[in-house]
Amino acid sequence: MLLTGIVVLRMAFGQSIALENITTSPGENVLVPINFTGMNNIGAILLFVEFDETVLTFNGITNISPEGTGTFYNYIPNPSRVGLSWIAPGMSGVNFPNGKYLDLEFTFNSCYSDLEFSADCEIGDWFGNIIPVTYSGATVSEPLLTLTLNVFLQGAYDPNSPGIMKTSLTTADVVPLAHPFKPALPYYGNNNPNWYFSGSENVSTLPSGCVDWVLIELRDAASLSSATASSMIAQKPCFLLSNGLVVDLDGVSIPRFCVNPSQGLFVVVRHRNHLGIMSSGPVAGFSNFYYYNFTLGPDKVAGGSGGYVEINNGLWGMVSGDINADNLINNLDITNAWRIEAGENGYFGSDSNMDAQVENKDKNDLLFLNLSKTSGVPE
C-alpha cells in the first residue's frame, strides 16, 4: 500500500517544464524564464525552444540556477531554435528546486512570437531512463488584440447537421498547407482578386475540423461609410472550423493581431469562392478582447441580405459563387471558371459546394441561385 501511494503521489505532481508569457515593447531586451517542477534525480537535459527570428533576436542565456551550472547553449537556424544541454557533474543525479532553471535572453523586434519546445526535447534521470515531462510554451508580444469570430460558408454548410459545416476538402486531402490567397494572376480573368494577400503564411498540418482557409481583415474607422479599404490596419490568413469558429494558424488559438484601433474596429472575412462580408458596425471589445458572431442575421453584415444568405432557420452565412473574386456573382463566374474546370477533382474555385468536385451541382444549386448577389464590403 505504501509503494502504491508513492507512485500515485509522483504521478499526481509529475514533472513539467514551462516558459513564461512576456509582454513588452519593440526594441526592448527581454528575459524569458524556463521553469522546472518536480525535476529530481536528473542526469541529463536536452531542450530545444523554437521561436520566430523575425520577431526575436537571441542573445544568450543568463541567471542559471546553481544546479544548472555547466549548461551549454547554441542557436540553430531553419527553423530558428535555441538548443540547451546539461549533464550532471557528479556521481549522482541532481534535484532541481521548483522554479527558474535559467532565462533565455532576446531582443524583441515587434508584434509577437510563440516559443515552443520541440518534440526532440529529452530529460533523463541518473540511471539513463527518459523521464516523461509536460512541456508548456509561451508568447513574447506587444499588447495584442484577440478576435473571436463565428462565420459560416454557404457552400460548405451541412443541412443535415445544424450548425456544422462539411470538411470534405480536408477529408479529400486537397486543402493546401500554404494559404491560397496569392494565386497566379490573372485569377479567372481577374487581375485584382478582392482577397489577394502577398504574405507567405503556411503550416505543417491542418487543424482538426478544418473547412478551409479564410482571410481576416481589420479596418479602423469612425463609421461604416469610412470603413473603406484605405482604413485597413491588418490582414491575416486563418482557418475556419466546422463549427464556424475562426482560429489562428496553430489551429487552436483565437486569432491575434498587433494593432490598436483608435476609432472603431470593423472586421472583414473573405473566402476564395464566397462573397466577402464586413461587420455592419464597430465590433465591441474590452481590454483588447473582441468578439463578433456573423451568423445571427443579415443585420450583422454591411449591405444586409443583398450579399448574405440564410442557410438554415435563423442562421446566416457567406454567399457561395464569387469564383473570380470580383465581389459579384454573375455569368463570368460560369464562363471564365466553372465551364473550364467542370469535371475536375481537387481544390478548385469552381467547386462552389466545396466537396472537392467541380460538377453540375456547383452551377445549378449555387451559382444560378446566387446570380446578381454582390458583396457589401466597402472597397
C-alpha cell at 347: 481544390
The answer, yes or no, to whether residue 12 has pLDDT greater than 60, is no
Q: What is the pLDDT of residue 9?
A: 34
How distant is the alpha carbon of residue 313 from its chain centre? 30
Place of cell 526532440: 120
DSSP conformation letters of 159-219: TTSTT-B--HHHHTT-S-SB-SSS--SSBTTBSS-TT------B-SSPPTTEEEEEEEEEE
271 contacts 318 by C-beta, under 8 angstroms: yes
Domain spans in the chain, listed from the N-terminal domain onward: 13-141, 145-367
User: How many CB atoms are located within 10 Å of the residue 115 CB?
Assistant: 23
- CA dist 227 and 267 (Å) reads 10
The pLDDT value given to residue 197: 98
What confidence tier does 10 reach under pLDDT thresholds 50, 70, 90? very low
CATH code that applies to domain 13-141: 2.60.40.680
Q: What mean pLDDT is predicted for residues 9-32?
A: 84
pLDDT at residue 8, as a whole number: 33
Give the distance from CA 216 to its chain's centroid: 11
Distance separating alpha carbons of residues 110 and 35, to the nearest angstrom: 25
What are the Cα distances from residue 136, in Å, to 4, 35, 86, 209, 321?
28, 10, 20, 24, 43
Grid coordinates representing 286 are 474590452
Give the residue with greater pLDDT, 162 vs 58: 58
Residues 322-343 have a mean pLDDT of 97
- In a 13 Å sphere around the CA of 374, the CA atoms on its Cβ side amount to 5
* pLDDT tops 50 at residue 7: no
pLDDT digit string, tens, across residues 182-229: 999 999 999 999 999 999 999 999 999 999 999 999 999 999 999 999
**Residue recorded with cell 475540423:** 209
pLDDT at 2: 30
Q: Rounded CA gap, 259 and 266, in Å?
A: 13
According to DSSP, the residues that pair with 58 across neighbouring strands are 106
Residue with cell 469612425: 222
pLDDT category, 117, cuts 50, 70, 90? very high
Average pLDDT over residues 112-127: 96
Q: What is the pLDDT of residues 347-373, one digit of tens each?
A: 999 999 999 999 999 999 999 999 999
When pLDDT is averaged across residues 239-250 and rounded to a whole number, the result is 97
pLDDT level of residue 1 (50, 70, 90 thresholds): very low
Mean pLDDT, the chain, as a whole number? 95
- In angstroms, the Cα distances linking 324 to 186, 206, 245, 246, 277 are 9, 25, 25, 23, 16
Q: Nearest CA to 113 among 177, 53, 178, 182? A: 53
Q: What is the pLDDT of residue 196?
A: 98
Q: Kindly report, residue by residue over 64-106, the tens digit of the pLDDT.
A: 999 999 999 999 998 999 999 999 998 999 999 999 999 999 9
Quickly list DSSP for 95-143: -PPSEEEEEEEEEE-SSEEEEEE-TT-EEEETTSPBPP-EEE-EEEESS
- Tell me what pLDDT residue 14 has: 85
Q: Is the pLDDT of residue 120 over 80?
A: yes
pLDDT, position 287: 86
pLDDT tens for 23-36 read: 999 999 999 999 99
Distance CA 58, CA 98 (A): 25
pLDDT for 186: 97
Beta pairing class for 138-141 and 22-23: parallel
Distance CA 84, CA 224 (A): 52
Count Cα neighbours of 115 within 13 Å in the Cβ-side half-sphere: 30
Residue 286: band (very low, low, confident or very high) from pLDDT cuts 50, 70, 90:
confident
**Residue 87 near residue 122 (C-beta atoms within 8 A):** no
Go through 3-24 and write b for each residue having 16 or more CB atoms within 10 A of its CB, e for each that does not: eeeeeeeeeeeebebebbebeb
Confidence of residue 330 (pLDDT cuts 50, 70, 90): very high
